[in-house]
A and B are shown apart, each in its own frame.
Chain A
């Protein structure tokens, strides 16, 4: 049973991509139907895997492994992918056919993108994890540059080059870990296996300088992909220029995926060198990201760039939580992963609908949202409340947990975080409020938000509200399991 559980969600996206490319000359209805049914099958397979891995770790051969931590991230990914498919079906209605830029290619690349992300979560081997992580860049670069405009091409190029160089540094760090393991007496066939490295962390601790070097390179390398400051330069461009469903995938699935890889290395480093070193680096990068994200949110002019900087800020909050450690810090960080993913799907969906209707995403040119598209405007406002970390949404609970941990162990971190979060709140109010009222010079002419898109937004909001009020028992159990994996 185990091999099927692990292999199906990994292989299915590849097959789906192949089928979609093969059907690229058929009718749009067939392509959409294929994407929907294969997407539903993939999400089903992921849920089965999550349910099984939540109970006990699944292992297949030397290459695939899933435990509660992978399950938690996979659950988030499955939810995000479902929402993105739902939104994309109506959003990607009129795509001009171009090479690698038609609807079948869009879905095919989206499936490949998902497949590589799922692969990172299932990889038992740090080398394989790196290969698939680089695979996520390769699979998504054409999606980022999908519109083929000057800005999209520039964003795609920057994304590919910056992330490839960043991940190359991450590979160097991975090699340092491998070297430390081999020198510590672990056989070369299992010296990249993260569960082995974790069990035998003491052997890696024999070469502390090497491990410290490796961790710094990994933090910079994978940190580039997480979008942590100061390696975040690709992130706002890619998020703003990609089609909105892809922006949501980047922000809500890809960043978490890189973060997951970082957590695996963090665990090994912390156990080998004792807590302190890896925690301090995560805390520094995290706080820096919150600061950079919050301050740059104030001066944004483009709606999607605003939310891109908010992603940097939220990844910073998560890294801060992990860097603080402790039961509340880790709990808050992992819970924040799920909440942020849902909130960011909501915001990019809303921003995409606004951009379609107004044919514009410069915030100073958008007026009268409240009357022109009241439902989307409502989603935008409620999403802003959620993003700012206010009750009754899930982000409040997770950020509160992180703050609670901060005030117990490092009060100055808590104070700094609170100050920066109020800057974020100010930025969101300052940018959102003028768009709602007023009257546009010319009434917007683009298509209204579709029913599917609105449904996807409503689902995001409902889930955020549910998680804010009460986390269902099964999810709570899974989350506790994932926290236990990190803290054990």
Chain B
């Protein structure tokens, strides 16, 4: 594997974790919804690149199909849907988080450190790249962090998506992905899920005249 493409692929696998940590921090620091959508698109693109690179290094044709799916669904379709929703719902572009950007970034850095600590034992036991597994856990945790700290309905959707990206990466880092049929099915569910969340966001706006899920508290006890 001494060809140029092989070296590029190996480099990408090596640096993917760093790029993913950057997207996670960018989301924590974001003051605008657009930034978050962009960061999600970039994060998915890194994952797609990672799938292509591992597919290339391991001579796997199914990996190419999975990479194309990631590219089509997570890099194009979902970010586009989110931008469409943000426009149609006339969301105020400035995000009102419960936590200010600086403490949020600080918390995310802590989550990244925690992820490294959490996977240490497993990474050596399973012989997988520690940084990638840590990135997977960090994506999952920061997805939940976004869901807890943001009030806007669309940010909850982005939180779920980041969480799912983490799970996808966990499968990729440990087993080079699940069988193609299953990955395709999961991706289909994700796409339908985002569309339904968008539909419900419209309903929330039409019935409550706002999109602040922290103010949905009619149901108690």
Interface size class of B (residues with CB under 8 A): 35 or more
Q: Is A141 an interface residue (CB 8 A)?
A: yes
- Would you give the shortest CB distance from A187 to chain B, in whole angstroms? 11
How far is it, in angstroms, between the C-alpha of A337 and the C-alpha of B167 when the chains are bound? 32
Complex CA–CA separation, A128 to B217 (angstroms): 35
Please choose the segment from A147-155, A431-439, A450-458, A477-485 that sits at the chain B interface, where 4 or more of its residues have CB less than 8 A away.
A147-155
Cβ contacts under 8 Å, B121 to chain A? 209
Q: A155-B219, A160-B193, A179-B174 are in contact. Are A165 and B203 (CB under 8 A)?
A: no
- Measured between beta carbons, the chain A residues less than 8 angstroms from B144 are 165
Chain A positions within 8 Å of B170 at CB level: 172, 175
Is B33's beta carbon under 8 Å from chain A?
no
- The reply to whether the CB of A465 lies closer than 8 angstroms to some CB of chain B is no
Main secondary structure of the interface of B (DSSP, over half): helix
Residues in B with CB closer than 8 Å to A210 are: 122, 125-126
Contact B218 A179, beta carbon cutoff 8 Å? no
Tell me whether B156 and A161 are in contact (CB under 8 A).
yes
The answer to whether A157 touches B219, judged by C-beta atoms less than 8 angstroms apart, is no
* Chain B residues whose C-beta falls within 8 Å of the C-beta of A135 in the assembled complex: 189
The answer to whether A149 and B207 touch across the interface, beta carbons within 8 angstroms, is yes
Let me know if A188 and B179 touch, CB within 8 A: yes
The verdict on A125 contacting B182 (CB below 8 Å), with A154-B219, A165-B147, A209-B125 known, is: yes
Which chain B positions have C-beta within 8 A of A102?
none
Q: Mark A130-144, 1 if CB is under 8 A from B, else 0.
A: 110011011001100
- Among A125, A189, A299, the most chain B Cβ lie within 10 Å of the Cβ of A125
* A292 interface contact, C-beta 8 A: no
Contact B193 A138 (CB under 8 A): yes
Contacting residues, chain B, for A301 (C-beta < 8 A): 221
Tell me, in angstroms, the Cα distance from A148 to B188 when the chains sit together: 26
| Chain B proximity mask over A288-308: 1 for CB below 8 Å, otherwise 0 | 000000001001110001000
Are A172 and B208 in touch, CB under 8 angstroms?
no
Residues of B144-178 contacting chain A, CB below 8 A: 144, 147, 153, 156, 160, 163-164, 167, 170-171, 174-175, 178
Q: Does A171 contact B (CB under 8 A)?
A: yes
Chain A residue nearest to B166 in the complex (CB): A172
Evaluate contact between A165 and B200: CB separation under 8 angstroms.
no
Q: Contact at A127–B125, with CB atoms within 8 Å? A: no
Mark each residue of chain B from 88 to 103: 1 if its CB lies under 8 Å from any CB of chain A, else 0.
Answer: 0000000000000000
Contact A157 B200 (CB under 8 A): yes
A273-316 vs B, CB cutoff 8 Å, 1 = contact: the mask equals: 00000000000000000000000100111000100000000000
**Contact among B167, B182, B207, B221 with A168 in the assembled complex (CB-CB below 8 Å):** B167
Most chain A CB within 10 A, of B170, B186, B200, B208, is at B200
**With contacts A145-B203, A182-B175 known, is A151 near B125, CB below 8 A?**
no
Contact indicator A161/B189 (Cβ below 8 Å)? no
Closest to B140 in A: A172
The reply to whether the CB of B192 lies closer than 8 angstroms to some CB of chain A is yes
**Smallest CB-CB separation from B216: which chain A residue?**
A154
Say yes or no for B196: interface residue by CB 8 A criterion: yes
Complex: chain A residue closest to B201, CB-CB: A157
A156 to B206, CA, bound (A): 14
Question: B38 at the A/B interface (Cβ < 8 Å)?
Answer: no
Contact across chains for A134 and B196 when beta carbons are under 8 A apart: no
Known contacts A134-B189, A151-B219, A165-B147; is-contact A192 B203 (Cβ 8 Å):
no
Asked if A241 is an interface residue, CB under 8 A from chain B, the answer is yes
- Is B125's CB under 8 angstroms from A168's CB? no
Q: Which of B202-221 contact A (CB under 8 A)?
A: 203-204, 207-208, 213, 216-219, 221
> Across the interface, do B167 and A134 meet the contact criterion of CB distance under 8 Å?
no
Contact with B along A466-483 (1 / 0, CB 8 A): 000000000000000000
- Contacts A164-B160, A171-B167, A188-B175 known; A153 to B200 CB distance under 8 Å? yes
Residue of B nearest to A125 (CB): B182
Contact (Cβ within 8 A) B182 A127: yes
Instruction: Please give the number of chain A residues whose Cβ is less than 8 angstroms from any Cβ of chain B in the complex.
Output: 51
Taking a contact as CB atoms closer than 8 A, the residue among A137, A151, A300 that contacts B221 in the complex is A300
A465→B124 CA distance, assembly (Å): 58
Residues from chain A with a CB closer than 8 A to the CB of B219 are 151, 154-155, 158, 236-237, 240-241
**Distance (whole angstroms) from the CB of A216 to the closest CB of chain B:** 13
A328 at the binding interface (Cβ < 8 Å): no
Closest to B208 in A: A150
Q: Does residue B65 face the partner (Cβ distance < 8 Å to A)? A: no
A207 beta carbon closer than 8 Å to chain B? yes
Interface residues of B in 11-35 (CB under 8 A from A): none
Q: How far is the CB of B70 from chain A (nearest CB, A)?
A: 16
A213 to B133, CA, bound (A): 15
Cβ-based interface call for B109 (8 A): no
Q: B69: CB under 8 A from chain A?
A: no
B10 CB-CB contact with A under 8 Å: no
Q: Is the CB of B207 within 8 A of A150?
A: yes
- The CA of A151 and the CA of B208, in the complex, are separated in Å by 10
Our pick among A127, A149, A183, A189 for the contact of B126 (Cβ within 8 Å) is: A183
B197 sits at the interface (CB 8 A): yes
Flag A91-127 by CB within 8 Å of B: 1 or 0 each: 0000000001000000000000000000000000101
Q: How far is the CB of A345 from chain B (nearest CB, A)?
A: 23
Does A367 sit within 8 A of B, measured CB to CB? no
CB interface residues, B 25-57, toward A, < 8 Å? none
Tell me the nearest residue of chain B to A167, going by C-beta: B189
CB-nearest residue of chain B relative to A300?
B221
- CB pair B156 A128 closer than 8 Å: no
Q: Is A178 an interface residue (CB 8 A)?
A: yes
In the assembled complex, the Cα of A279 lies from the Cα of B106 at a distance in Å of 40
The reply to whether B185 and A138 contact each other, CB–CB distance below 8 Å, is no
Q: Are B167 and A172 interface neighbours, CB within 8 A?
A: yes
* Listed A/B pairs (19) with beta-carbon separation below 8 Å: A127-B185, A130-B186, A131-B185, A131-B188, A131-B189, A134-B193, A138-B193, A150-B218, A153-B207, A154-B204, A157-B200, A157-B213, A160-B197, A175-B170, A192-B178, A192-B179, A207-B125, A209-B125, A210-B126
Give me 4 other A-B pairs in contact (C-beta within 8 A), A182-B175, A192-B179, A209-B121 excluded: A100-B199, A138-B189, A178-B171, A189-B179
Top 6 A-B pairs, shortest CB-CB distance: A127-B182, A131-B185, A154-B216, A134-B189, A237-B219, A175-B171
